[in-house]
Amino acid sequence: AFMGYVLPWGQMSFWGATVITNLLSAIPYIGTDLVEWIWGGFSVDKATLTRFFAFHFILPFIIAALAGVHLLFLHETGSNNPSGLSSDTDKIPFHPYYTIKDILGALILILALSSLVLFSPDLLGDPDNYIPANP
């Protein structure tokens, strides 16, 4: 991750929008059109930050919904068979085995991370950045 300088919260949005603007505008032929389509122009102002916050808020929900739809259809029908080979031999049905296995794996991961956070939160921290409160 970028470990250069620390920006206050108000400046972080401007920095993020500026970086996205610069990255998009570097795309040949369509960069300027992309910037104008996403932000409405090259100036980073209130309208730009409003769009930035809107995209930043809604994109994780869109990605989660698409992942859910993907899993739903994958678990419902399975993958396709473009070669036409018979895949019925030694076939394990996708539901319930892999679905339960996925849910169990997610629960074990959540349990491990929760126990790490709740019982020893400073274990993975950097001791150089630790300042005790009211020493």
Instruction: Decide if pLDDT at 111 tops 80.
Output: yes
What is the per-residue pLDDT across 61-77, written as a single tens digit (0 to 9) for each?
999 999 988 888 776 66
pLDDT band at 34 (very low <50, low <70, confident <90, very high): confident
pLDDT band at 7 (very low <50, low <70, confident <90, very high): low
Distance CA 116, CA 128 (A): 20
- For residue 17, what are its two tokens? 């929008």
Distance CA 71, CA 13 (A): 33
Instruction: Decide if pLDDT at 86 tops 80.
Output: no
**Domains of the chain by residue range:** 11-78+93-121
